[in-house]
Structure 1
Amino acid sequence: MSASPLISLSGITKTYGRGHAAFQALKGIDLEIDSGDFLAIMGPSGSGKSTTMNILGCLDTPTSGSYRLKDVQVERLERSQRALLRRHCLGFVFQGFNLLPRTTALENVELPLIYRGEPASSRHEAARAALAQVGLKGWESHTPAELSGGQQQRVAIARAIVTRPEVLLADEPTGNLDTRTSREIMELIVSLNEKLGITVLMVTHEPDIAAYARRVVHFVDGFLESDERKREIL
């Protein structure tokens, strides 16, 4: 008997506004994602991909339908419970890095552990290990202004994985980077997926970036139009 999927969306809809101003961003999304998968989410602006990512990241709730994460019925949780789920199961990487400008790389990576109330000694150790994992050993005391764009995104990835999340949500992670640096960042994300088993959900507009994923889904006008597996798990 096969294991149940890590993530399951069933009949997910999302409507913003009411009456004549209502806009249905999602129109019945069914999607299952297994632990360890690497999914690229594509589609034009307004297709529903960002709304889906917000729901998957417990940042928003569906209007109707079911969202299960690790057999937890997410849409039934209170806001504080969803925050706990985010804190313990999910890591986030954004296009704009979102680093605190006047703090060091080490302090930026420690932030999620501060929110979890972990003591300073274990925070320092975990943050140093995460920076080493992304190739930034020796850069702990540098501020974002002293780092290249690629290095800043590596710090952001270290911050996302320092809590050892099961799922990494990446929103256009290479959008602010040049081609060579984009390739390096994507190779790092592939490594985290394959070596650490982190499930990766990534929004991208770029086919060459989506090609790094094992599976590509396309959204159009609030519907999931296609779901293609690119390659088998190594």
Structure 2
Amino acid sequence: MSRATFYVGTIGGILGILTAAIGMIWCIYNAIFLTDFANLVYDILAFQYYFGDLGYFLLPILSSEATFSMISKIFAILLIISGILIGIGFFGMYRTGGGAMGIVGLITSIVGSSLGATLIYLGIISKVYDISSGVVYFIFIPLVLYTYPVLVPNFFYIWLGLVVLAITFIMLGVSTLAMRETFSMPSAATAAGVLSIIGGCFIFPYVLVWMKLIPLLGVVFAFIGLAMILVVFILWTAVFFSSRNL
């Protein structure tokens, strides 16, 4: 039974590597969307000047928002699946003497990844109106302030989802450190635990996106955090696979 759970955890680690990689791509398209949104008013003016009212349908924000939404949904689905499989791997550690922290890892991984993914998905499908604004200048003199309302993803829910994921990875890091001597590769388990905690902390600043305080910086922090989590999944894959004979 324990061997089977470690094999499942290994598969979860491999899938987690893909999940973290998709998460990093998600951050890139998040940044592209935010940039397109910031330039929306100027794009509208330029496209309408050249193409008339049909210019709106050529705006870059439409394609970037569609791509961002698609990747977000894929990211959410992979989070749930990999979280469940990793949780089963932690359950295997509980059965081989890892103690209560194995159960903590099981519950945290399944509940945390599922809740975080659900909130991200909810943020994508429950759109809200936001205002893109821009000032037209003439020889450095501001002439007209243009504003344009547009439906965008609900970044409050997305931020909440990332907060849940950040807490999840921090808790999983703590669980991994607590059981490091139980694994067949304690040094790799220690590295995974430390990186999971640090990576989770790097995801928290995504709040800058929701608060519109240097939003691109918040995306950069999340990208770095997910890059660390990718390494964590690689280490978890090695740790679970090496522990299959315990």
Larger Rg: 2
TM bracket, shorter-chain basis: under 0.3
Bigger proportion of residues as helix: 2
TM-score (normalizing by structure 1): 0.25
TM-score by length of 2: 0.24
